[in-house]
Every structure is written in structure tokens, then in C-alpha cells.
Amino acid sequence: MQHPCMTCGACCTQYRVAFHWMESDEVTPGGVPHQLTEVLDPHRLCMRGTHSKPVRCVALDAQIGVYSRCTIHPNRPSVCREVDASWEYGKASPQCDKARIAYGLDPLTLADWRWRDGADNDDDHPDDNGNSPSPQAPIAA
């Protein structure tokens, strides 16, 4: 089995993705590609496609519920890195559940993570940069 997010992508079509302008690759090497952002206010940018309805992040390559990938995954904003899938780290994510339900998808359960029970997960589930997950996932702005 694969990670449930690889067949979902619903969160990328439900929430504004706002973050501090210093996360842009214009300021921080390897940051969020500036050409994919727009100015939200003097301190924040947002991903194009997430500022108004209908929401769909410009970096999303997906057919919701079938396949999903972030075209800038290694360079995605911090707010995206902080959103966990429900039960990925042992607790529900209301943000994930709400996005999935909006597409008629069932919320994830602990059973959706059984595929990795036998995997070598001694690394405390680090993110792309080797960091442990945040203790509490904030709701996107």
C-alpha cells in the first residue's frame, strides 16, 4: 500500500495556504517557488489558487480520491508540512477529515496505516528534513 495522501489531495483544494514571505525562494534558497505565489498582505504570501473560491493549489497535480502529488513537495510551505493526515501519528486531524468528507471520501482511520506496521519506523516518522512531527498541527490560515 501507499501513503493515503498519494490518493487523496483533498486538503489542497479546501484551504488557503498562507505563509510568511521569507519562505519564498526569492529570499530563502530552496524555498517556495515565488512564481507560484501571490501577495496576501504585507507579511504573507499564499499559494496561487488558494486565495479565493474555488480553492485549488497551483502546485497540486491530482484527481482527488484517485492520485495526488505536490509538484513542489520538497519546497512546499511550512503550513503544508504541518498538516498531518488523520491517524498518521496516532490522532485524528479535523482538517484532513473535513477535506476528505467534502469530496465524499471517508475520513482516515487507524486501519489506513496498518500497511506500515511491519516497516522499519525507528525514526519517529521524520518529515522530509529529518524532523519529528510537530506535537499539534495548526489549522491553515
> What pLDDT, in 10s, does the model give residues 2-15?
899 999 999 999 99
Residues 139 and 125: their CA atoms lie apart, in Å, by: 21
Count of domains forming the chain: 1
* Band (128; pLDDT cuts 50, 70, 90): low
**Structural domain contains residue 134:** no
**Is residue 121 one of the residues assigned to a domain?**
no
Residue 127 in domain: no
Please check whether residue 126 lies inside any domain of the structure. Answer: no
In a domain, 17, yes or no: yes
Mean pLDDT of 53-68: 97
Domain interval for residue 102: 4-112
- Domain assignment present for residue 119? The answer is no
Query: Average per-residue pLDDT in the chain?
Result: 87
- Give domain status of residue 117, yes or no: no
Alpha helices in 5-111 (DSSP H): 78-81, 94-102
Distance, CA of 92 to chain centre: 15
Q: Taking residues 30-46, what's their average pLDDT?
A: 97
In a domain? residue 129: no
Tell me what percent of the residues of the chain surpass a pLDDT of 90: 78
Confidence of residue 57 (pLDDT cuts 50, 70, 90): very high
pTM higher than the cut 0.85: no
